[in-house]
Structure 1
Amino acid sequence: MAKDKVEVLPAGVAKGSFRDNLEVACFGILLIMFFKTFVGQQFTIPSGSMRSTLLIGDHLLINKFIFARPQWAWEEKLFPMRGVDRGDIIVFRYPLERDQDYVKRCVALPGDTVEIRDKRLYINGKQATGPWEHHSPRPEDGPLPGPWPATRSTGVVTEDLPESLPVSAVWPYQDPEIQAMDQQGREPLGYGYRDHLAPVKVPEGHIFAMGDNRENSLDGRYWGFLPVDHLRGRPFFIWWSYREGGVDDQNARIPSGPADVVANFVDGARHFFSWTRWDRTGTIPK
């Protein structure tokens, strides 16, 4: 009986299981880094500023290349790139603290004139409202969807609040010198411009962003115009919606270390079936 032949591989070809697994792991890490850098990223809604369009605990997938600036014509044809539009939900670097990502809605583009009168938004002299605009005429009812024509009460306006600034006060971000400043680390303005903002033109290279939950959103009314180069992407899919603490209005816990990450994972595993919003999971935000 002939003995089984043993095939001898050239030197350097044979690999052990450790090396095989290490190569697969490294390749997987490179794919994940490429995806997060150029394609998409996961983002969790931590607060109620976009309620009820986006709820606390909504886990989103972000399209990161849709607002990218193509260098060659073939890029624009091959990939679905475009400029930001009015009405787009956007994820961006917060101008006052750029290591934080915020999510709001783009309401005005460069060259548009923005005005707010009695909580109502006007773009180029015309009111901009729709089902995405939420107000809380009675706080106990929570934010209610629009549209909000002049005949519909939005509740108390900031001129009736003691901590508000005079309605006639000049919004500082109208000053071109302030627009050009590095705003990182500055404090946002107070309530005075929340419900009243004199007509102001959006400068080139900037947009104006607001949260849909108008009475509870730290947005452009407080910190000014958003530079276009701060845009990170556009949410296109809610892959999971989870009630933080089992309720809809409890702010998400932001992990500050490995222990918080583990705690969030354990909490999600324990209450996955009971606290998941099944009616929102798998939907497209608009």
Structure 2
Amino acid sequence: MTESPKNASQEELEIVLPPGAEKGAVRDNLEVICFAMVLILFFKAFVGQQFKIPSASMRNTLMIGDHLLANKFIFAQPQWAWEEKLFPMRAVKRGDIIVFRYPIDRDQDYVKRCVALAGDTVEMRNKRLYVNGKQVTGPFEHQFGQSPEGPTPGPWPPQRYAGEAEHPLGLWRHTDAEVLALHDHNQIQGMNSLIQNGFKDQLGPITVPPGHVFAMGDNRDNSMDSRYWGFLPMDHLRGRPFIVWWSFREGDTDNDNGHVPEGPVDVASDFIDAARHFFTRTRWDRTGTIPE
């Protein structure tokens, strides 16, 4: 029996799928999800990471509830010359806002400003910062950090009133060796005693040792920084914030500290709170800005 023209036409139109094309929708979607997760993990580990500001230590440069995207490879140490040419890597500079692992608890991330590099001489004199004998100040430096109205921006020349400086008992000038000993994490109790006597407002002069930087918060009266826990090792650096992708006031006022989630329940609670108050608490004027 001869084949009818209709059946022959159907055979000619039959599409033969390539090997592996019939793997099914479930497997196909799982592969897409796995690939996306690999990309996200790679991006988070080597390119950029999201951070949230929970405290007022950098106010008003960074506000409580600012969500930052940090460039993680800018301070990386290139192993080959082509890396430095291909990627925008560089050494940390004075004035950079930096994200780093807290030296006393490396599971925590801190955000401060690098004010001095290795070899620089640092001195706090009556609440003013001096690096290599010259005062460092500007609009980024804020005083009266715990006032209800928020901190007041600089600059703060010596003749401008910046509040009463806390003076430690006796002579406040310490040698480099004494400060290094006080910054030893095994002697935190001794450091706390000195801090209570005004260590944050009167310090040095001291020299930043090799392989370290000196970090301070812009909100000088309300910042736990190198004045308290010592010099920051360079290998603790994680990156530099380059954009505030979202700014969300987490409380009724800008003075309310943010909440750091510690588990899935906290993450879900933060998500619900953000959804409820998204339009009323989002700082639209800060969202999308570049911190400097």
- The CA deviation at 1:14 is 2.0
1:210 matches 2:206: no
Instruction: Report which stretch shifted further, 136-145 or 25-34.
Output: 136-145
Larger radius of gyration: 2
Identity %: 61
> Which residue identity lines up with residue 66 of structure 2 in the other structure?
D
The change in CA–CA distance for 1:166 and 1:46 in structure 2 (over 3 A counts) is same
Report the TM-score when normalising by structure 2.
0.90
Gaps of 5+ in 2: 1-5
1:168 matches 2:171: yes
- The CA deviation at 1:170 is 6.3
**Aligned partners of 2:74 and 2:88 also within 8 Å:** yes
**Aligned partners of 2:50 and 2:70 also within 8 Å:** yes
1:104 matches 2:107: no
CA distance in 2: counterparts of 1:52 and 1:184, whole angstroms: 33
CA distance in 2: counterparts of 1:253 and 1:11, whole angstroms: 52
CA distance in 1: counterparts of 2:223 and 2:76, whole angstroms: 26
CA distance in 1: counterparts of 2:33 and 2:175, whole angstroms: 51
**Aligned partners of 1:172 and 1:178 also within 8 Å:** no
Determine helix, strand or coil for the equivalent of 1:99.
Answer: strand
CA distance in 2: counterparts of 1:57 and 1:26, whole angstroms: 31
Determine helix, strand or coil for the equivalent of 1:235.
Answer: strand
> Which residue identity lines up with residue 257 of structure 1 in the other structure?
G
CA offsets, 1:45-82, max 9 Å, x none? 00000000000000000000000000000111111100
> Which residue identity lines up with residue 274 of structure 2 in the other structure?
G
Report the TM-score when normalising by structure 1.
0.91
1:222 matches 2:225: no
CA distance in 1: counterparts of 2:48 and 2:16, whole angstroms: 45
1:90 matches 2:98: yes
CA distance in 2: counterparts of 1:137 and 1:251, whole angstroms: 13
Indicate the residue corresponding to 1:162 in structure 2.
none
- The CA deviation at 1:127 is 0.4
Determine helix, strand or coil for the equivalent of 2:271.
Answer: helix
> Which residue identity lines up with residue 216 of structure 1 in the other structure?
N
The change in CA–CA distance for 1:19 and 1:254 in structure 2 (over 3 A counts) is same
Instruction: Report which stretch shifted further, 30-39 or 138-147.
Output: 138-147
1:129 matches 2:144: no
CA distance in 2: counterparts of 1:36 and 1:128, whole angstroms: 34
RMSD, aligned α-carbons:
2.2
> Which residue identity lines up with residue 81 of structure 2 in the other structure?
A
Indicate the residue corresponding to 2:245 in structure 1.
239
The change in CA–CA distance for 1:173 and 1:226 in structure 2 (over 3 A counts) is farther
**Aligned partners of 1:110 and 1:203 also within 8 Å:** yes
Indicate the residue corresponding to 1:266 in structure 2.
272
Indicate the residue corresponding to 2:255 in structure 1.
249
**Aligned partners of 2:141 and 2:220 also within 8 Å:** yes
